[in-house]
Amino acid sequence: MVCGSCLRSVIVQTGLIGTILTPKRVHFQSIGRNLYAGAGLTSHWNWNREFGTSVKMMVDSGATASGPVVDTFLKKDGDGKYVSGRWRSEDGKLSCGYSSFRGRRATMEDFYDFKTSKINGQTVCMFGVFDGHGGSRAAEYLKQHLFENLMKHPKFMTDTKLAISETYQQTDVDFLDSVRDSYRDDGSTASTAVLVGSHLYVANVGDSRTVISKAGKAIPLSEDHKPNRSDERKRIENAGGVVMWTGTWRVGGVLAMSRAFGNRMLKQYVVAEPEIQDKEIDEEFELLVLASDGLWDVVPNEDAISLALEEEEPETAAIKLTETAFTRGSTDNITCIVVRFRHDKATDPVNPEA
């Protein structure tokens, strides 16, 4: 792994990093085929340029819950290409860090979100990574609405799996309705982790991914929705669609994932129904990594968990993973969230001055 200072030196010396990207989506027009690709100009970029401001943040929890104040620390470079931050629960038993970087892409289409609250006396924490394609609107819409909609679902606490599934699909309908007058047809993945007390629900649409560490072992809690997955291909073909090879497997030769939010023109085949796994968190569970495919394209599950476990603070782990993906040649936006579970006795709340 390349250290941060070495990486800064290389980038400043070269000035320009331009890479033709492997696209997630190909746009077709009547006159032919246009490749959706981009290149990033990253001269004078500093990995850890930060503004030294900590902010108090009220996490919105919807109408039925009361959101506690949490300490959130933000770091970002001067031109908005990179941001990181951290949060810790009041009892210190749960903490998270995030890192999001535009990378070699010309635009940023990744978004992330986390919320925490108490509902009917039960602690609820939600973490999500949303990777847009063809534009950023779908991913941004999910950041703004998905968790809010979930907490308003009448069965959120009594049948969480059903609430997640219905909320995913209804939020997709709502997004498509909000952009019905637009000529653009962008979409987004969603990989989310919802912790209700000690019970964890991981839901996934698309090719972002969530992996958990249990006794040092990397266990994927989601399976990427790729068109060449045998069950996904069968579902698409049964709906009248086709899966084609155009350098990679694509739905209709257009989209390199088989499930997504948005993508109106392919909606008959590209659904937003999530696959959901649930686990009871015990003392063997150490941490959780959620990330866009900008990480997973170049960092295997085992590497991600091994690297994250080397760091005590989840923000440091998230930055390390983002940096590793970049130095290994990722050509995409890179966003990850690391959630660490602490099973020892409760600790003091975060001291903002520490």
Contacts of 52 (CB under 8 A, 6+ apart): none
Distance CA 145, CA 255 (A): 24
User: Per-residue pLDDT tens for 199-253?
Assistant: 999 999 999 999 999 999 999 999 999 999 999 999 999 999 999 999 999 999 9
Mean pLDDT for the stretch of residues 176-191? 92
User: 324 is written with which tokens?
Assistant: 């590793």
For 144-193, give the DSSP string: HHHHHHHHHSTTTTTSHHHHHHHHHHHHHHHHHHHTTT-S---EE-EEEE
User: 38 is written with which tokens?
Assistant: 């981009």
Q: What was the pLDDT predicted at 77? A: 53
**Extents of the domains making up the chain:** 4-341
175 has pLDDT over 80: yes
| 31 vs 117, more confident | 117
Q: Residue 65: name the closest of 111, 114, 125 by CA.
A: 125
Q: What was the pLDDT predicted at 135? A: 94
Q: Which helix (H) or strand (E) holds 139?
A: helix 137-152
Q: Which helix (H) or strand (E) holds 296?
A: helix 293-296
Q: What was the pLDDT predicted at 76? A: 55
User: Per-residue pLDDT tens for 101-140?
Assistant: 999 999 999 999 999 999 888 899 999 999 999 999 999 9
Are the CB atoms for 124 and 114 separated by under 8 Å? no
Q: What was the pLDDT predicted at 38? A: 28
64: three-class secondary structure by DSSP: coil
- DSSP label at 9? H
User: Per-residue pLDDT tens for 133-168?
Assistant: 999 999 999 999 999 999 999 999 999 999 999 999
Are the CB atoms for 310 and 243 separated by under 8 Å? no
User: Per-residue pLDDT tens for 260-296?
Assistant: 999 999 999 999 999 999 999 999 999 999 999 999 9
pLDDT-based confidence at 344, cuts 50/70/90?
Answer: confident
CATH topology of domain 4-341: Phosphatase 2c; domain 1 (3.60.40)
User: 246 is written with which tokens?
Assistant: 């155009």
User: Per-residue pLDDT tens for 57-106?
Assistant: 223 222 233 333 333 444 555 455 789 999 998 888 999 999 999 999 99
User: What whole-number percentage of the chain has pLDDT above 90?
Assistant: 68
- Residue 211 CB: number of other CB atoms within 10 A? 23
Distance CA 339, CA 116 (A): 13
Mean pLDDT for the stretch of residues 7-14? 31
pLDDT-based confidence at 8, cuts 50/70/90?
Answer: very low
Q: Residue 259: name the closest of 246, 273, 242, 244 by CA.
A: 273
Q: Which residue has the tokens 């008959």?
A: 268
Are the CB atoms for 118 and 68 separated by under 8 Å? yes
- CA torsion angle 218 223 227 230 (round to 10): 100
- Residue 281 CB: number of other CB atoms within 10 A? 17
pTM, entire model: 0.78
User: 95 is written with which tokens?
Assistant: 């903490």
Q: What was the pLDDT predicted at 349? A: 40
Q: What was the pLDDT predicted at 221? A: 97
